[in-house]
Amino acid sequence: MTTRILDAYFRRILDIGGFAPVDSSLNGLQVDNDGAEIRKIAFAVDATLESFQRAADAGAGLLFVHHGLFWGKPLGVEGVHRGRIKFLLDHNLALYGVHLPLDQHPALGNNAALAALLGIETPEPFGEYHGRKIGYKGKLAKSLTIEEAVKRISFKDRPPLGVYPFGKKENQSCAVISGGAAHEALQAIDEEVDLYVTGEAAHEIYHQALEGRLNMIAGGHYSTEVWGVRRVMENCAAELNIEVEFIDAPTGL
């Protein structure tokens, strides 16, 4: 495997080109290697020095992340940013980032995985973001309490950031958007969804959810976004027959 081959593979399975007009992230290969063959791929949620060090220690030649290093604006190669890039170059470690295409993907994405964990039947697109819907909603195969929903989506049983039981005791429908999508709770209220699951809460949304009788779980930005990365990892292992490893580096946020 080379970075060129892997880039073509990721672009085939994820709609990277389709999100170019709306995603400020530099989706795709963010830092290349020197052309060396890649025998192992590491996967992590965030592009940080910790994840780089652990990927290098594991013998990975490429690190696939959800949150990369580049977000629309040019950054000076200085400070923490310089240190991260220097480590990648010094260790010949390639970096590949996929943001919104990984949130939205109907099979491999964060939101598809959350929908499956919660038992959403026939998921429909939900959550308008710059003209694209990146989340999913639908009826639940079996009614869930908010406590049961928390257990299903808690990666390694880590507690959520917040649980807001403002609606029904038994939820019949649910909408999900991973990460920082607190304000999309308003769309959940408008569409009369019982339960809304996202990563982060927001102060100004609290009373909106309370008055709209919406149950809401803020599962954590990190914890709601391990799922897509892990699904891509499993897909790579199965289709490419390459060694893979997940790097778990939770922030608690």
Helix (H), strand (E) at residue 136: strand 132-144
99 is in an annotated binding site: no
66 is in an annotated binding site: yes
Query: Taking 90 as the threshold, does the pLDDT of residue 218 lie above it?
Result: yes
Q: Give 146's contacts (C-beta < 8 A, 6+ positions apart).
A: 163, 165, 171, 195, 215, 217
> What is the arithmetic mean of pLDDT over 87-104?
98
114-135: pLDDT as tens digits: 999 999 999 999 998 878 999 9
Residue 75, Cβ neighbours under 10 Å: how many? 13
3-state secondary structure of 58: coil
The reported pTM is 0.96
46 is in an annotated binding site: no
8-34: pLDDT as tens digits: 999 999 999 999 989 989 999 999 999
207 is in an annotated binding site: no
Q: Please report, as a single letter, which amino acid is at residue 76.
A: G
Query: Taking 90 as the threshold, does the pLDDT of residue 72 lie above it?
Result: no
> What is the arithmetic mean of pLDDT over 50-79?
96
Query: Taking 90 as the threshold, does the pLDDT of residue 74 lie above it?
Result: no
Structure-token match 């908010």, residue found: 146
Would the CA dihedral through 162, 167, 169, 175 be positive or negative?
Answer: negative
So what's the pLDDT on residue 129?
81
Q: Which domains does the chain have, with CATH numbers?
A: 3-98 (3.40.1390.30), 105-223 (3.40.1390.30)
131-168: pLDDT as tens digits: 899 999 999 999 999 999 999 999 999 999 999 999 99
So what's the pLDDT on residue 192?
97
Q: Angle, nearest 10°, between helix axes 226-240 and 3-13?
A: 120
Q: Give 234's contacts (C-beta < 8 A, 6+ positions apart).
A: 244
Mean pLDDT of the chain: 97
In which band, very low, low, confident or very high, does the pLDDT at 211 lie, cut at 50, 70 and 90? very high
Query: Taking 80 as the threshold, does the pLDDT of residue 193 lie above it?
Result: yes
